[in-house]
Amino acid sequence: MNAHSVRKLFDAVRRGKLTPDDAVARLRHLPFEDLGFAKVDHHRALRAGFPEVILAQGKTARQVAEVFARLASHGTNVLATRASKMQYAAVTRREPGAEYRELARAIVLQQDRRKYGKGNIVVVSAGTSDIPVAEEAVATAEVMGNDVEHVYDVGVAGIHRLLASRATLSRARVVIVCAGMEGALPSVVGGLLRVPVIAVPTSVGYGASFEGLAALLGMLNSCASNVSVVNIDNGFGAGYVASLINRL
């Protein structure tokens, strides 16, 4: 054991068998990883308000349920993304308090309902087909202790719909924008506001959308300077980044 070997050094020093200088010298030659354990508690301390997260996709219902229950025992919130109803059924037998957010395909267990975010996160979607990704962002942000509002179906081809939502948008401390097809919405939203905008390209679209590539490139080339981008369909990542920003 690592702690053990370090302890032996201190013992030797105390018993005068080793000078402090020699002890430092020896420590210097101990394999790096023997001290790797050192940060564990700090990490624990830093975790307050961070959910435990499971990527359910590709796991059996039973596996998800087992991991979910184990993580739930930590007392923090638990989030399983890209989860099926069948996986939820298995989870709920172990954790009756877990709820299933169908649109977001997420299983959520909220054991810690404190607010860690200082302001509002507003999640915007361009079309109705982008809503599953947007809802994954919503679920993530809520489970991380944020007040979340959403504005859906405000794509740029009907700019008046977006403008009609400016009141909601202006309440945001951070904005998440989910859009497929040409991925233009983050630029327009970014231009209207002075807060950070997290853009999520979605794989929604046909033909030359190339499974979200068109939207991704569009967002990376946004002419609005306050936009940064996460991976295609990565609602979870957007919700996570936005939550981090919102607790600053």
- Site for a copy of itself, residues 64 to 103, rule: CB under 8 A: none
Q: Is residue 33 packed enough to be buried (19+ CB in 10 Å), middle (13-18) or exposed (0-12)?
A: exposed
Question: Distance (Å, rounded) from C-alpha 217 to C-alpha 163?
Answer: 25
Binding test (CB under 8 A) with a copy of itself, winner from 139, 156, 177, 178? 156
Helix, strand, coil percent content, the chain, rounded in steps of 5? 50, 15, 35
Binding test (CB under 8 A) with a copy of itself, winner from 170, 171, 177, 178? 170
- Under rule CB under 8 A, residue 1 binds a copy of itself: no
Contact between 161 and 124 (Cβ < 8 Å)? no
| DSSP state string for 166-215 | HHHHHTEEEEEEEE-TT--HHHHHHHH-SS-EEEEE-S---GGGGGGHHH
CB closer to a copy of itself out of 93 and 171: 171
Question: Distance (Å, rounded) from C-alpha 30 to C-alpha 9?
Answer: 11
Question: Distance (Å, rounded) from C-alpha 86 to C-alpha 76?
Answer: 23
Question: Distance (Å, rounded) from C-alpha 205 to C-alpha 214?
Answer: 9
Q: In the complex, what is the shortest distance from the CB of residue 96 to a copy of itself, in angstroms, rounded to a whole number?
A: 27
Count CA within 13 A, CB hemisphere, residue 188: 21
Window 14-33: contact mask with a copy of itself (x via CB under 8 A) = x-x--xxx-xx--xxxxxxx
Binding test (CB under 8 A) with a copy of itself, winner from 84, 92, 111, 129? 129
Q: Which stretch binds a copy of itself (CB under 8 A): 5-13, 83-91, 92-100, 105-113?
A: 5-13
Q: In the complex, what is the shortest distance from the CB of residue 223 to a copy of itself, in angstroms, rounded to a whole number?
A: 4
Binding test (CB under 8 A) with a copy of itself, winner from 52, 58, 152, 177? 58
CB closer to a copy of itself out of 33 and 113: 33
**Looking only at residues 100 through 119 of this chain, which bind a copy of itself when binding is defined by CB under 8 A?**
118-119
Q: Which stretch binds a copy of itself (CB under 8 A): 69-77, 85-93, 105-113, 124-132?
A: 124-132
**Looking only at residues 227 through 246 of this chain, which bind a copy of itself when binding is defined by CB under 8 A?**
227-234, 236-238, 240-241, 244-246
Window 183-222: contact mask with a copy of itself (x via CB under 8 A) = xx--xx-xxx-xxx-x--x-x-xxxxxxxxxxxxxxxxxx
The pair of three-digit structure tokens given for residue 239, joined into one six-digit string = 């919700």
CB closer to a copy of itself out of 35 and 69: 35
Question: Distance (Å, rounded) from C-alpha 187 to C-alpha 240?
Answer: 21
CB closer to a copy of itself out of 84 and 129: 129
Of 169, 119, 173, the residue nearest 147 (C-alpha): 119
Q: Which stretch binds a copy of itself (CB under 8 A): 36-44, 72-80, 92-100, 107-115?
A: 36-44
